């Protein structure tokens, strides 16, 4: 096996390894190039595919290394403007293009299948990527890291699985929401060498990842589910081109938080977003007056609210917003095109799903909607996402493939809305974390959950999201009228992007003062929330719903550090969270929680009751 070519992107190096016509893809920290060991290893193809009707084989429970790969012939590799295209040919008319786009410290990869024959080609498998040579360093014992969506079921948000003997582990979802049991993420940790590899899939719906081990060779692959995972298959028409969803990959020397921060970079816009205050609730003139005086920019009406307040909101200088459900309709009065399975309507409660696979249907709706939004000067839409369904739907292909086409059509609907109204703020409000995935996050200005959680549960859920979601896109709903420790609730919202609910009109003067102090703190902390890297320290006990102990959440930039601290139970001894050297305290939002700066560290406590606080430090 030889190194055919190599490319640098920041502190990451991408290697193309070759043995005959078999090409493997490896990623390493650039500083560790001289430690790579390839002796005694053989590549696994970086192109994972299987035409329907070809022989099965390979590893039980996997679609890796089927005999069809022996007929895959290398044609060319071209590199231009940070894009590497490697072309392979199968048979007389199927061309496969492996496309890697290099960025600063991360890579986006997808596969394209071009059918040059005169007949349709059906595929049992077409993966977005395959990353081999894990780990290429001596004494590399690897562990798989997965992020669960089950914090509220009293389980840890991180799962770790060792791969000590030849086997494979496949996981993902065949449902309509990309985040069900797991996030579309996998990390692989080589503890002995302090190196981690990671991937996030940019699928709008179904996905699959596979971590495989064969002797000393390990690989990570995935993208669309294959035929063996949930019956998924696809067809490429004669003369057609099929593009897989992309995968974002990174490799870091450090810890799991370094990997999360690196993968999040793919979701950062070119210009930092403006983190203005957002209020979501029914219309009230008293509330409007209070929000205007507080400097809140967006007033978003709840679903079913009387729209007569839109004009008053706009006249007061705030940006009005509305709540929309564009994906379902009342089952009693369904539109013409709805999703079906086995000929029967797909339903969630008393609602049915609208089928947007017809471009004409999408065009008609968008023309009407965009006209209404412009006419009423609405600058914000809160888009409700219904419950997930997992059995596929009727269509031209198999139910799983038809489901993929449906989720892609939904994404196309919202992407067209964005193109038609580029200044529109788009919030996706999803049950649990169903659409907290890279592709949807790239499109959305913000993601929120539907429920307003208790302070402790809200903080834990928000930190779970923080692993794979940039702070400025993770909306944290805070009930202003929730009672209890207002300072702690407001501080907890800084783990993401604060979204206020509840009626503050009856507040006392003290509560209004606390809220204004928080908004002033938030405005100064925005640079850290916009672009800072995430760190975490905590001792929370065994329960995520009823945590004990404490936690501190950091967002660090070269010139600023935001520290959000919470104690969940009686804090007997002072705590000394680490602060960045050379920083000095700029502002604190702490209520009655005792604290002090001593010896370059932040001393917090003791405290008799649960409490929260936030601290902003700047470089001296």
Comparing 64 with 461, the larger pLDDT belongs to: 64
pLDDT of res. 538? 79
- Residue 225: half-sphere exposure toward Cβ, Cα within 13 Å: 28
Distance CA 460, CA 465 (A): 9
Please, which residues bridge with residue 515 across strands?
A: none
Q: In what order do the strands lie in the sheet with 22-29?
A: 2-9, 12-19, 22-29
Please tell me which residue, 464 or 79, carries the higher pLDDT value.
79
For residue 156, pLDDT beyond 60: no
Is-contact 457 432, C-beta < 8 A? no
pTM to 2 decimal places: 0.91
Mean pLDDT of 319-328: 94
pLDDT digits (tens, 9 = 90+) for 188-210: 999 889 999 999 999 999 999 99
Identify the pLDDT of residue 454: 66
pLDDT at 158 over 60: no
> Is residue 264 pLDDT above 90, yes or no?
yes
Q: Which residues contact 240 (CB under 8 A, 6 or more apart)?
A: 114, 115
Mean pLDDT across 405-422: 95
Structural contact between residues 267 and 530, judged by C-beta atoms closer than 8 angstroms: no
Mean pLDDT along residues 382-388? 88
Measured over the CA atoms of residue 260, residue 184, residue 143 and residue 127, the dihedral's sign is negative
Mean pLDDT in residue range 55-59: 70
| CB contact at 8 A, 208 and 222 | yes
- Bin 363: left if φ > 0, else alpha if -120 < ψ < 50, else beta: alpha
Q: Is the peptide bond before 58 cis (omega within 30 degrees of 0)?
A: no
Q: How confident is the model at residue 567 (pLDDT cuts 50, 70, 90)?
A: confident
Q: What is the pLDDT of residues 576-608, one digit of tens each?
A: 777 788 888 999 999 888 898 887 788 888 888
CB atoms near residue 289 (< 10 Å): 12
Per-residue pLDDT at 154:
34
> From CA 616, how far away is CA 555, in angstroms rounded?
10
pLDDT of residue 280 exceeding 60: yes
Q: What is the DSSP string of 416-462?
A: HHHHHSTT-EEEEEESTTTT-SHHHHHH-SEEEESS---HHHHHHHH
Confidence of residue 546 (pLDDT cuts 50, 70, 90): confident
Percentage of the chain with pLDDT > 90? 53
Distance CA 503, CA 217 (A): 59
Closest CA to 448 of 462, 464, 460, 438: 462
Q: Which of 76-90, 144-158, 443-457, 528-542 has the lowest mean pLDDT?
A: 144-158
Confidence of residue 527 (pLDDT cuts 50, 70, 90): very high
């Amino acid at each position: 096996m030889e190194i055919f070519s190599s490319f640098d992107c920041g502190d990451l190096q991408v290697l193309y390894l070759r043995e005959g016509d078999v090409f493997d893809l490896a990623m390493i920290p650039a500083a560790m190039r001289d430690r790579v060991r390839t002796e005694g290893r053989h590549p696994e193809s970086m192109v994972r595919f299987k035409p329907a009707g070809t022989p099965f084989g390979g590893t039980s429970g996997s679609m890796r290394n089927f005999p069809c790969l022996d007929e895959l012939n290398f044609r060319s590799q071209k590199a231009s403007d940070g894009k590497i295209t490697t072309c392979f040919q199968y048979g007389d008319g199927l061309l496969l293009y492996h496309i890697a786009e290099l960025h600063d410290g991360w890579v986006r990869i997808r596969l394209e299948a071009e059918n040059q024959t005169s007949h349709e080609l059906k595929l049992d498998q077409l993966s977005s990527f395959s990353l081999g040579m894990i780990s290429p360093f001596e004494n590399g014992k690897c562990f798989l890291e997965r992020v669960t969506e089950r914090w509220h079921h009293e389980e840890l948000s991180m799962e770790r699985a060792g791969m000590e003997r030849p086997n494979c582990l496949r996981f993902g979802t065949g449902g309509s929401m990309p985040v069900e049991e797991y996030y579309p993420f996998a990390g692989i940790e080589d503890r002995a060498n302090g190196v981690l590899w990671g991937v996030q899939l940019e699928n709008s719906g179904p996905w699959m990842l596979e971590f495989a081990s064969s002797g000393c060779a390990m690989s990570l692959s995935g993208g669309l589910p294959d035929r063996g995972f949930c019956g998924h298959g696809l067809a490429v028409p004669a003369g057609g081109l099929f593009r897989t969803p992309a995968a974002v990959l990174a490799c870091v020397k450090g810890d799991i938080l370094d990997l999360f921060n690196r993968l999040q970079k793919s979701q950062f816009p070119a210009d930092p977003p403006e983190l203005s205050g957002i209020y979501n609730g029914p219309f009230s003139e008293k509330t409007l007056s209070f929000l205007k005086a507080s400097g809140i920019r967006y007033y978003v009406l709840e679903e079913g609210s009387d729209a007569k307040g839109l004009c008053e909101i706009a006249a007061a200088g705030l940006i009005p917003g509305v709540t929309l459900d564009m994906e379902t309709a009342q089952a009693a009065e369904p539109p013409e095109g709805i999703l079906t399975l086995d000929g029967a309507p797909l339903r969630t409660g008393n609602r049915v799903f609208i089928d947007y696979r017809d471009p004409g249907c999408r065009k008609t709706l968008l023309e009407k909607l965009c006209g209404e939004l412009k006419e009423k000067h609405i600058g914000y839409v809160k888009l409700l996402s219904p419950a997930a369904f997992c059995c596929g739907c009727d269509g031209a292909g198999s139910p799983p493939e038809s489901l993929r086409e449906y989720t892609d059509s939904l994404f196309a609907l919202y992407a067209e809305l964005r193109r038609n109204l580029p200044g529109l703020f788009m919030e996706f409000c999803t049950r649990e974390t169903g659409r907290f995935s890279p592709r949807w996050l790239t499109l959305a200005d913000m993601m929120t959950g539907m429920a307003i959680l208790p302070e402790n549960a809200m903080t834990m859920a928000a930190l779970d999201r923080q692993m794979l979601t940039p702070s400025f896109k993770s909306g944290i709903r805070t009930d202003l009228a929730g009672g209890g420790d207002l300072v702690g609730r407001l501080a907890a919202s800084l783990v993401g992007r604060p979204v206020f609910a509840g009626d503050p009109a009856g507040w006392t003067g003290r509560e209004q003062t606390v809220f204004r102090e928080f908004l002033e703190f938030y405005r100064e902390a925005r640079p850290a929330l916009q672009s800072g890297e995430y760190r975490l320290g905590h001792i929370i006990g065994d329960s995520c719903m009823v945590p004990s102990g404490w936690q501190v959440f950091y967002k660090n930039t070269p010139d600023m550090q935001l520290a959000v601290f919470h104690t969940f139970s009686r804090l007997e001894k002072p705590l000394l969270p680490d602060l960045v050297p050379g920083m000095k305290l700029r502002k604190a939002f702490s209520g009655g929680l005792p604290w002090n700066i001593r010896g370059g560290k932040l001393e917090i406590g003791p405290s008799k009751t649960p409490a929260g606080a936030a601290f902003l430090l700047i470089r001296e």
